[in-house]
Structure 1
Amino acid sequence: MSFTPLHRALGLPPSILTDEILNAAVASGAVETDDLDWKSELPPIKNLSQTDVPKDIAAMANSGGGMIVYGVKENQKVATGRADTGEFSEGHERAYRSVAVTAIVPPVFGIEIYRLGINTRAVAVSVPASVDGPHLIYKNDYFGAPIRNDADTAWMKERQIEAMYRARFNERRRATDALDGLYRESVEEHDTSTRAWLIAAAHPRIPVLARPDRDEVRKIFERAREITLTYSNRSGIHPVENIDYLNPRPGLRRWTAVNTATGSQQWQEAWASVHHDGSVTLASAVGGHRKSADGYFDGWQVEGRGIEGAVADFMALIRATADALHTDEYEVRVGVEWAGDEPLSILTVDGSNFTYDGASTPLRRFTPVSSTITATGSDDSFQRQVHDLAEDCVNQGGITYLHMISEPPEADG
C-alpha cells in the first residue's frame, strides 16, 4: 500500500493506487501542487534525456518527493479530464528509469511507475523524497538545480543550493550517529567474552513515521524467512529460525523477536528487532557452534557459514521491512564481536565439506563492515548486495568463497 498525492487530494488512507483513484482525483478537479504535476502526454522515448523529464524528476526529488501523472488534461493547474497516453512499453519504462539515474547528479533511485487504465491509459510516476539533494541537471557546460515552487518548476538560487548541501551533510552525520547507537546497543546486550556474536544493524536513510502493529511485524518476520532461502541454502544456521517470529514483543519504539534456542540448542541463540522508524537489528551467536554430536567449537572459532546465514537473514529482514514500511536506502553495519583473549578465527569447509581453519587469518579485532544498501529494486540486484556484504565479512578472516549464499547472475550488458 502507498500514500500518494492523489490519496492526499481525496482524503484517502494509504491503499494501492488504482485507476479509480485517478478518476476521482480528476473528477474532483485536483489542483497541481509542489508534489503533484499533471501532464497530458508521455514524453517521447527517443532522446528522453533531452526532454523535461530529468528536470521534472530532479525538481520533485529536491522538493521532498511527489508524483508526476501523464494522461491528465489541466487548465490553470486544475485537472479537467483524462487523455490516453497510449502504450507505455517496457522499453519506455527502462529508458525513463535510466534517465533518473544517468541524467541527474546525484542519481534519483527508487522511482515507482504505475500503469493505470485500459481504454484511457495513464502513467503515474512516484518520485521518492531524497536526502542526497541538491540533484543537478547538466546541459552542456552548465548545470542547475530545479525545485518545485507550488505548481511550477523553478531553479534554485545559490543560497538554496548551499542550504541543501548543508542539509545533506547533516543528515549523513545524523544517520551515522543513529547507526552507531543501534550497533553499540546491540553489542552491549550480549556477552561477547565467552563466544563471538555477529551484530548487524540497519538504519533507513529516510526514517519512516510508522508504528507497525504485531500482525504487521509478524508478517515481516515471516516474509524474511521466505526471502532468505531465495539466495541462501540450508548448509548453515539461519538465525531467523531460532527466534519467536510469531509473537514479537513490544519494546522501546520497536518489536523484538526473542530467542527460542535454549538448553542444548543455546549455541545458536539469536535475537531480531524491527523498529518503528524502519531500522532493523539482528544479533546471532556465531562462536562456539556445535561441531559433532557432543562437541563444540571454542567461542573464538566462527564458521564462515554461520556468518553467511546471519548476513542472509539480516538482509532478508531489511528487504521485508522495506516492502512493508515503504523505506528504500539503508545504512548498514555488520560486525563480529569477540572480547576474549584468543584471536578470532573464521573457519571454512574443504572439498569434502569438513570444517577446517587452514585458510584462516587470526583476527585480534574484526572490523565492522559498513555499506549503503538499496532495499528496493530487482531480486538480482538485491542478491548481489547480499553476496557482496557476506563476501566482505568472510574475506576479512582469510576466507575466499561463500558456501551458503549463491552468486547472482551477471547483469546484461
Structure 2
Amino acid sequence: MARIWTRLHEYLGVPPGRLTFDMVRRATAGKLAETDDLDWKQVLPRTPENGQWNELAKDVAAMANTRGGLIIYGVTDTIDLVGIDPEAVAIQQYEQWIRNHVQPYLPDLEIYPLTDDSTSTSDGARTVLVVDVPASEMAPHFVYGTAQRDKEQMAAVVPYRASDQTAWMPEHQIERAYRDRFARIGRAEEELQHHLELTVQHIAAQTEVPSAWFVAAARPQRPLPRSVRTLDRNDACEVLRKALDRAAAMFPGSAPTDGVLSGMSADVRENPRPGLRRWVCSTLERDRGPEFITELHDDGVVVMAGNVSWVRGRDDLPARGADLTVPEWLVMACCRDFVATVQELQRALRLDSAQQLTASIVAPHGPRALAPTTYDSTFHREGTPPYARRPHTVQAVHTVLSPASEDQEGQTRVTELHTDLMNQFGLAGLG
C-alpha cells in the first residue's frame, strides 16, 4: 500500500494523498535534495554482474532499515527530471529480486510508474518509476548476495541510509536493531493489553451487575505519519456515521443486529465527549438499557466494549451463580462494528500503516461461566447448544487490517475475530 505522506508532500506543502507526476516535477524543479528517505536515480535497476550486489535490493533494504522512503528513477544526480523508458520497466523482475535478496520479506513495498498526464505519449511524455518503501516493523533486513571474491560464497549485509548515502551496519548496530524490533513487538502488545485492562477496570467501576463483555482494541503497527491531524467533534461524528453505514453494508442479506455502534442511541453516538486525547461515546452513565463504549484516539487507536449478556427489553439481574450468556449473533455484530470503525478511523487520519486488532470476551466482576447462545430459526428461539463449552476465561484473539482496506478484507477480519472467539465455546462461528 503506497504511503500518502512523503518527503515530497512535506516539501511541496500539499495534503496527504497519492504521489503524482506533477509532484515529482515540482520537487525536481525546486532541486529537492536527497535525504535518508528520498533517493533520486537516473537509470533503471540493472541485473548485477561480476559478483556485484543487487543495487535495487540493497537500496530497498537500506530504506526499510531506516524509516522508509521513496526511490525515484528518472532523475539525474543534479536533480534534473529526464524520465525513463516505460517499455524498459520490469516490475515483476524487480519484485523478484527483492524477494530473493531481502530478508525478512517486505510485504507492503509498492513499485509503480508515474507519467506526465499533461503531455501525450506520442509527444514525448516523460515517465518516472517510483519504489515506495515503508518503514518496517521487522527491521533489520539483510541483503543476501554473492561475495565479490568468491562467486560460490553467499554473504549477507545490513544496509541503512545515513543522510543521502547508504552505509553498512556494524555488528553492534545490528544487535541494537534486533533489540529495537523485539521491543517494538513487546511494546505493541503491552499497549493493546493496557487499553483492554483500562477498559475492563472502567466497566467494573461503573457497573454492579455481573456481566460478560466484548472488549476490543486496535492500534497502528507503525507510528503515525507527520501529517496526522487531531479529530474534532465533527470529525469523530463523521467517522462513526460512516462506520455505522459500513457495518450495515458489510454482510448484505444477513439479519440486522445491534452491535456496539448500532446499539447506541443516536443522541449518544452523535455527541461524543472529550477524553484524554480521544473522543468517547458511552452509555454506562445511563440507568437502563444496553451498555456500550466506543473510543476514537488521536494516535489511531480504537477501543470498543459492549455488554453482550444484556438482552434487549430485559433488565433483570442474573441469578446468583448463574451462567453469563454470550449470544453468538451479538458477538458477530460487535466484531462487525469494531472492524468498520477501525477502517473509517484509518481513512479519517490518513493512516498508511496496518492496524493490529485484538478482541476478547471478559467478565469484569470476576470469573463466571460463560454460556454461548445461538438462535434457532426453525423454532424461533435462542438457547445454549448441549455440546457447547462454558469457559470461565476466553483468550484474546488477534488479526491485522491493511491500511485503506476494502469491504472484502473487512468482512474477512470480522470472520476471523468472530470465529476465533466462538471456537473457544465449541461453536463454529462464521467460518
Q: TM-score range by the shorter chain?
A: 0.7 to 0.9
1:357 is displaced (CA, Å) by 0.9
How large is the Cα RMSD of the aligned pairs? Answer: 3.3
- Aligned partners of 2:248, 2:304: CA distance in 1, in Å? 17
- Aligned partners of 2:271, 2:221: CA distance in 1, in Å? 28
Of residues 151, 175, 181 in structure 2, which corresponds to 1:168?
A: 181
Of residues 30, 55, 59 in structure 2, which corresponds to 1:56?
A: 59
Number of residue equivalences: 391
- Aligned partners of 2:359, 2:367: CA distance in 1, in Å? 22
Residue pairs, 1:193-342, within 5 angstroms: 193-208=209-224, 210-232=229-251, 233-243=254-264, 244-259=268-283, 266-267=289-290, 269-290=291-312, 300-325=324-349, 326-338=351-363, 339=365, 342=368
CA contact (8 A) 1:284 1:310 kept: yes
**Deviation larger for 95-104 or 145-154:** 95-104
Matched, 1:367 2:395: yes
Identity between Structure 1 and Structure 2 (%): 29
1:275 is displaced (CA, Å) by 0.8
Matched position secondary structure for 2:300? coil
What whole-Å deviation, never above 9, does each CA across 1:58-89 have from its counterpart, x for those lacking one?
A: 21111111111233x212xx311231442699
2:383 is matched with which residue? 356
Give the gaps of 5 or more residues in structure 2: 48-52, 118-124, 147-153
**Deviation larger for 114-123 or 391-400:** 114-123
1:106 is matched with which residue? 104
What whole-Å deviation, never above 9, does each CA across 1:254-299 have from its counterpart, x for those lacking one?
A: 11233499677x13x3221111111110011111223xx7698957
2:130 is matched with which residue? 124
CA contact (8 A) 2:196 2:217 kept: yes
- Aligned partners of 1:376, 1:134: CA distance in 2, in Å? 26
Matched position secondary structure for 1:60? helix
Please tell me the residue identity of whatever aligns with 1:139: G
1:410 is matched with which residue? none
- Aligned partners of 1:297, 1:85: CA distance in 2, in Å? 73
2:50 is matched with which residue? none
CA contact (8 A) 1:318 1:375 kept: no
Matched position secondary structure for 1:134? coil
CA contact (8 A) 1:65 1:130 kept: yes
- Aligned partners of 1:197, 1:247: CA distance in 2, in Å? 23
- Aligned partners of 2:8, 2:107: CA distance in 1, in Å? 21
**Deviation larger for 234-243 or 246-255:** 234-243
Larger radius of gyration: 2
2:120 is matched with which residue? none
2:5 is matched with which residue? 3
Matched position secondary structure for 1:20? helix
Please tell me the residue identity of whatever aligns with 2:370: L
1:384 is matched with which residue? 412
Matched position secondary structure for 1:122? strand
TM-score, scaled to structure 1: 0.83
1:137 is matched with which residue? 143
CA contact (8 A) 2:44 2:84 kept: no
**Deviation larger for 296-305 or 29-38:** 296-305
1:82 is matched with which residue? 82
1:366 is displaced (CA, Å) by 1.8
